[in-house]
Amino acid sequence: MKKDKMKKLEKKGWKVGNVSEFLHLSPEEEEYIEMKLILSNYFQELRKRKNLTQVQVAARIRSSQSRVAKIERAESSVSLDLIVRSIIALGSSKKEIGKVMLAKTA
């Protein structure tokens, strides 16, 4: 947000902060959410790079198309475990997953 807009909002009584402050997230919760977002985005990129539909991926991971869509949106009902297992099912290695995590957090 631009500084001038932030100042105008604060003058009108609004409190300006970040998502973590608004949701009262601990540093651990913030890191967990960031990891889920990074891996969910990577999962979607990987699926598209392999020219697979959500239905095709669902068959590979023995799930449903709607579950694949939820993985790609990093919905709260989707565990980090499911995301990682799905990425591995698409052929990614631990090393590649590690590189993605390092590149996105650096």
Per-residue pLDDT reduced to its tens digit, 16-59:
777 777 778 888 888 888 899 999 999 999 999 999 999 999 99
Determine, yes or no, domain membership for 7: no
Measured distance CA(66)–CA(91) in Å, rounded: 21
* pLDDT score of 66: 96
Q: How many helices (H) and strands (E) does the chain have?
A: 7, 0
- 27 vs 14, 31, 51, 74, CA distance in Å? 24, 6, 36, 19
Q: Is residue 1 in some structural domain?
A: no
40 vs 48: CA distance, rounded Å: 12
Q: Quick one: pLDDT at residue 52?
A: 97
Residue 9 lies in a domain: no
Q: How many domains does the chain have?
A: 1
pLDDT band at 106 (very low <50, low <70, confident <90, very high): low
Q: Residue 23's domain is classified under what CATH number?
A: 1.10.260.40
The per-residue pLDDT for range 52-105, each reduced to its tens digit, is 999 999 999 999 999 999 999 999 899 999 999 999 999 999 999 999 999 876
Which phi and psi angles does 50 have, rounded to 5°?
A: -90, 5
Q: Is 91 helix (H, G, I), strand (E, B) or coil?
A: coil
